[in-house]
A = this chain, B = another copy of it.
């Protein structure tokens, strides 16, 4: 499968590495496709990895990953070309963290909307699945943590897209995912991340993650 990863930060490079490791071809899309960080990434992942503009990456991918900063989501989609998302599964890993008042962060969307919903509204023909936003990038692929595995929680409007996402998660070493329902549930997945930051800071354990104890 060809995967377009929009965003070249820690999350994008980690997931890009993960998709390559699982046998897929990955093009990371970036404003600076020849940056040092991306050249290092290409050297590391080998021939199945490439870099390009947002538009090139969005055209390339049969499956797309949105991993830009939350505040840059709309711009990145505009640069990529909204028509390139039509019909594709879009894994939305973004968070609406607001650091304008320093650490720890708040959210710049309220609780009656979310980035997940904004993305789905902006891309009505895309099959958006909120995924990966609640875990640190260190645990996104083959998560190893004491007492694990942690739980991935996802949501989205397209049942088949979520089923495919669960397959991807299993290939990435996850046991599956807890499906919260439609994309509007992204509000609560995004609101979990400021809590995660506070927990990680309190414990000084930045590779921590949530597990649901089923009772």
What residues of chain A have their CB less than 8 Å away from a CB belonging to chain B? 106-107, 110-112, 136, 138-139, 145-148, 150, 153, 178-181, 185, 187-189, 191-192, 194-195, 198-199, 202-203, 205-215
Contact = CB atoms under 8 A, between A and B. Distances in A.
A209 to B, nearest CB: 5
Nearest to A192: B195
B215 A202 contact: no
A213 B194 CA distance: 17
Main secondary structure of the interface of A (DSSP, over half): mixed
B111 A213 contact: no
22 contacts: A106-B112, A136-B215, A139-B215, A147-B211, A150-B213, A153-B199, A178-B199, A179-B202, A180-B195, A180-B199, A181-B202, A188-B194, A188-B195, A189-B195, A192-B195, A205-B212, A205-B214, A206-B215, A208-B212, A208-B214, A209-B212, A210-B211
